[in-house]
Structure 1
Amino acid sequence: MSGVIVTNPPKASAKDVAQLSAYGTATVSEALGRTGSFGLGLRPVQQDVRIAGTAVTVLCWPGDNLMIHAAVEQCGEGDILVVTTTSPCTDGLFGELFATALEHRGVRGVVIDAGIRDTSELRQLGFPGWSAAVSPQGSVKATAGSVNVPVVIGGQIIRPGDAIVADDDGVVVVPREHTAEAVVACEAREAKEAAARYAFQEGQLGLDRYGLRETLVRLGVTYQTYEEYSANGQHHA
């Protein structure tokens, strides 16, 4: 396997990324039409942390973190390291020493579709991570891969410079060309949710606010008292 290290790829607007950092992954994904989520495969190694940044992508061979070492040089202020492997891998390819080097360069966190280790040290360092596994298993540095090329995680294509948002719920990617419209959509969704939150605090039901009673009727859902339900032979407890 040969590889390539791409330097200075285009990046999402730093202003847009900063604005996206105010929104959770659920809001961003919903605002984008329920797209962009990396799915259930990646979980945070910490809690109550949200980051947003621009992707530096890494494609490694399983059990080999050579290209992460190469990627550190390509990372800068506001980036998020996004790592995957050519086939499934749970080895601990990323740990405290990488985090120390990346923190020095202003990197905001790591998203790795493989194993992560030194999780206690990462939390103490304040360097956020999302991974497919936690494992003490080490790695070699022997096989070529690539840096700053398109990669796929959880069915999502991530290109270098795309915006990444990550929090307790997971990870979402926003294509670098669409961050401005994503910010506008997030603002609109947040305003809509704020209005709904106030309504619910005042006692309104979602059935009424969203017109769902009509949906229940259309789907043939009926209301029955307990006695009616029992009389129809549908209650066996």
Structure 2
Amino acid sequence: MSVAFVTCDLLDDNEDKDLQVVYPSIDGKFFRSFGARKTFGGQVVTVKCFEDNSRVKELLATDGTGKVLVVDGGASMRCALMGDMIAESAVKNHWNGVIIYGCVRDVDAIAELDLGVQALACIPQKSTRKGVGETGLTLSFGGVTIAQDDYIYADNNGIVVAKEALV
């Protein structure tokens, strides 16, 4: 997203709206920023997958203009759901960002890409690809519910979910 914002200000300026804030700690794990783009947001595309990044790869290879992929990886700490090659595909396809309730890898390369990336942790282990995963579902983690086509905004202060565009 090219429009600048601060999540704190979005909350303050939209007190009349039903906004949700992702908990800063989930079972002792914190969302961390890994991409070069520290502030990002857009319309949500959802995918739920556990230790299989097939759907993540497929979705990020499509046009993502104005969108953020939200991945419910079940908070698995055993493998990464995105690495540098899939992140590069996201940049080429104009995604604003990716939020992963799980892990990423190739973090030094991802840090150089113009892509917003937040995840719980990093691990060098790649995931398996068996074509498993569901898209377009409503996801629940971090004390929030995130539906396909919601809007999500992330920066170094945290992550805000809205039913409508705020910027």
Shorter-chain TM-score bucket reads 0.7 to 0.9
Does residue 25 of structure 1 match 2:7?
Answer: yes
Determine which of 101, 105, 117 is the counterpart of 1:117.
Answer: 105
Conserved? CA contact 1:58–1:83, under 8 Å: yes
Greater percentage in strand? 2
- 1:125 match: secondary structure: coil
Greater RCO, 1 or 2 (C-alpha within 8 Å, sep 6+): 2
Distance 1:111 1:95, change over 3 A: same
Determine which of 118, 133, 145 is the counterpart of 1:157.
Answer: 145
Does residue 78 of structure 1 match 2:66?
Answer: yes
Letter of the 1:107 partner, please give it.
Answer: W
Q: Aligned-pair RMSD on alpha carbons?
A: 2.3
Conserved? CA contact 2:37–2:117, under 8 Å: no
Does residue 44 of structure 1 match 2:33?
Answer: yes
Runs (4+) off by over 3 Å: 30-35
Conserved? CA contact 1:93–1:116, under 8 Å: yes
Distance 1:76 1:143, change over 3 A: closer
Conserved? CA contact 2:91–2:113, under 8 Å: no
Distance 1:145 1:46, change over 3 A: closer
Corresponding residue of 2:76:
89
Determine which of 98, 108, 114 is the counterpart of 1:126.
Answer: 114
Note the residue ranges of structure 1 that are not aligned, 5 or more in a row.
Answer: 1-16, 184-237
Query: Shift in Å at residue 22 of structure 1?
Result: 3.1
Conserved? CA contact 2:35–2:112, under 8 Å: no
TM-score, length-scaled by structure 2: 0.83
- Distance in 2, matches of 1:129 and 1:48, equals 8
- Distance in 2, matches of 1:169 and 1:123, equals 18
Note the residue ranges of structure 2 that are not aligned, 5 or more in a row.
Answer: 25-29
Q: Deviations over 1:23-54 (max 9, x none)?
A: 21112234444941112131212577211211
- Distance in 2, matches of 1:56 and 1:143, equals 18
Distance 1:80 1:48, change over 3 A: closer
Conserved? CA contact 2:37–2:116, under 8 Å: no
User: Which structure has the larger Rg over C-alpha atoms?
Assistant: 1
Greater percentage in helix? 1
Question: What is the count of residue pairs matched by the alignment?
Answer: 159
Query: Shift in Å at residue 74 of structure 1?
Result: 4.8
Conserved? CA contact 2:102–2:120, under 8 Å: yes
Letter of the 1:54 partner, please give it.
Answer: Q
Corresponding residue of 1:59:
48
Conserved? CA contact 1:162–1:174, under 8 Å: yes
Corresponding residue of 2:27:
none
- Distance in 2, matches of 1:48 and 1:57, equals 20
- 1:130 match: secondary structure: strand
Distance 1:47 1:95, change over 3 A: closer
Query: Shift in Å at residue 75 of structure 1?
Result: 4.2
Letter of the 1:97 partner, please give it.
Answer: M
Letter of the 2:42 partner, please give it.
Answer: G
- Distance in 2, matches of 1:29 and 1:125, equals 28
- Distance in 2, matches of 1:22 and 1:72, equals 23
- Distance in 2, matches of 1:84 and 1:30, equals 28
Distance 1:47 1:66, change over 3 A: closer
